[in-house]
């Protein structure tokens, strides 16, 4: 979680994927290559507040194949 805001009964939580390559891809040489478009998800109410999750996932570039 990188930040959060709350105004009246609306809460926004901002998440950003860490800069560490996925464990499933240890055989490949990956480098961080920016972010995918941010996804916003409306979650269940939390103590009477409307909750929005803002999620940013990293894009990974394979150095050998140049595949994203």
- Please state whether 34 falls in left (phi above 0), alpha (psi between -120 and 50) or beta: left
Cβ(15)–Cβ(52) under 8 Å? no
For position 29, what pLDDT does the model report?
Answer: 86
What does the alpha-carbon distance between residue 4 and residue 1 come to, in Å, rounded to a whole number? 8
For position 13, what pLDDT does the model report?
Answer: 94
Residue ranges in the chain modelled with pLDDT below 70: none
For position 42, what pLDDT does the model report?
Answer: 93
For position 44, what pLDDT does the model report?
Answer: 81
* Maximum alpha-carbon separation in the chain: 50
pTM given for the model:
0.76
Beta strands 49-56; 10-16: pairing state? parallel
């Amino acid at each position: 979680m990188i930040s959060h805001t709350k105004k009246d009964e609306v809460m926004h939580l901002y998440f950003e994927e860490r800069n560490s390559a996925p464990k499933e891809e240890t055989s490949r040489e990956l480098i961080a290559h920016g972010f995918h478009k941010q996804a916003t998800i409306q979650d269940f109410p939390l103590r009477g507040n409307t909750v929005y999750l803002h999620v940013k996932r990293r894009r990974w570039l394979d150095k050998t194949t140049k595949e994203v």
